[in-house]
Amino acid sequence: MDKLPVKSFLGIFDELYTGQHGDESWVIDRGGYGFLDAINSLTAEEASTAMHKGGSTIAGHSEHLRWSLAYARTYISGGQPDTDGQKAGL
């Protein structure tokens, strides 16, 4: 199997979560500004406050990302991930 697609995916994934590194970029045009930088700049209150009535929160979206990464990790490791998003609070 060609390793280029996997390496490219991991590069994009890393940039989205941790921000741009060096001069090359897939989607982020300056250092930092990845997902982790964005959520670390918020207070718990800000992350837990919906932008509009009935809307989602950044904390909720962050939990969804955490759950999906745990799901993928379990699956890739040969395990059987729990597919019940309701139990996960999603």
- Alpha-carbon span 24 to 62, nearest angstrom: 26
Kindly list the domain boundaries of the chain, sorted by start residue: 4-76
* pLDDT tens digits, 21-69: 777 777 777 666 788 888 999 999 999 999 999 999 999 999 988 888 8
Are 39 and 58 spatial neighbours (Cβ–Cβ below 8 Å)?
yes
Is the full-model pTM beyond 0.85?
no
* pLDDT tens digits, 4-26: 788 888 888 888 888 887 777 77
Quote the pLDDT of residue 37: 84
- Reduced to 3 states (helix: H, G, I; strand: E, B; else coil), residue 20 is strand
Residue type (1 letter), 66: R
- Alpha-carbon span 60 to 62, nearest angstrom: 5
